[in-house]
Homo-oligomer: A and B are copies of this chain.
Amino acid sequence: MAATLEFWFEFASTYSYPAAHAVEAAAKARGVEVKWRSFLLGPIFAAQGWNDSPFNIYPAKGVYMWRDLARLCGAQGLPLEKPSQFPRGSVLAARVVCRFAGEAWIPAFVRQVYSANFARDLDISSPFVIGEILSSVGQVPAEIMKAAQAQEAKDAFRAQADKAVALGIIGAPSYVVDGEVFWGGDRLEAALDWAEGKRTLATA
């Protein structure tokens, strides 16, 4: 049985953009399977008393983050255009991923939604934008969006978001291997090491 890595992401999360474009190839190179797990940061931030992205609440953090993101994307060869609206509503796209997580078209869908938000400055909360992307990955937009917004699918997505909290996830992207949480795009290699059984914890 191949080791698996859960990739927990929020479509509004800036650092998840380069991570989403990198995770599949990096995992494949190590023989690790990726599970795509969408969730929402809103409730997690709200639990810490934040009603907006911390990058907006703390401007110095925001200034640093956009510069850092330009470097990260530059190193990965990804285009970046600072969105005219940040953060953008991500629940529609996130529900699509939750409902169809195991489908072969999901990785490409995820990457295209991120590129729409952060390289094309498109409003990913719009069904028209999500519909265009669904078409481009060979799906029928109306059917997919209907299924993703059925009550059962909404409930399943809420349960998945609750699971993020239960796992101790505090930000996006996070990688989870056997319940072990690694937060931040930079921790991908550490998470893959964990998946390979390299698991060392320091003690005094």
Q: Using CB atoms and an 8 Å cutoff, list the residues of chain A in contact with chain B.
A: 47-48, 58, 60-61, 63-64, 67-75, 78-81, 119-121, 168, 170, 181-184, 186-187, 190, 193-194, 198, 200-204
Question: Residue on B with the closest CB to A121?
Answer: B204
Closest Cβ of chain B: how far from A149's Cβ, in Å? Answer: 30
Docked Cα-Cα span, A67 to B200, in Å, equals 11
Known contacts A186-B184, A186-B187, A187-B186; A200 and B60 CB within 8 A of each other: no
> Which B residues touch A194, using CB under 8 A?
71
Known contacts A48-B60, A181-B64, A186-B187; A79 and B203 CB within 8 A of each other: yes
Docked Cα-Cα span, A32 to B72, in Å, equals 21
Asked if residues A204 and B119 are in contact (CB atoms below 8 Å), the reply is yes
Asked if residues A68 and B201 are in contact (CB atoms below 8 Å), the reply is no
Closest Cβ of chain B: how far from A171's Cβ, in Å? Answer: 9
Q: Name, among A58, A67, A80, A201, the residue most crowded by chain B CB atoms within 10 Å (CB to CB).
A: A201
Asked if residues B60 and A168 are in contact (CB atoms below 8 Å), the reply is yes
The 5 closest A-B pairs by CB, nearest first: A73-B202, A74-B200, A81-B204, A186-B186, A80-B202
Docked Cα-Cα span, A120 to B70, in Å, equals 40
Known contacts A60-B170, A168-B60; A204 and B79 CB within 8 A of each other: yes
Pick from B70, B183, B193: contact of A202, CB under 8 Å = B70
Closest Cβ of chain B: how far from A26's Cβ, in Å? Answer: 15
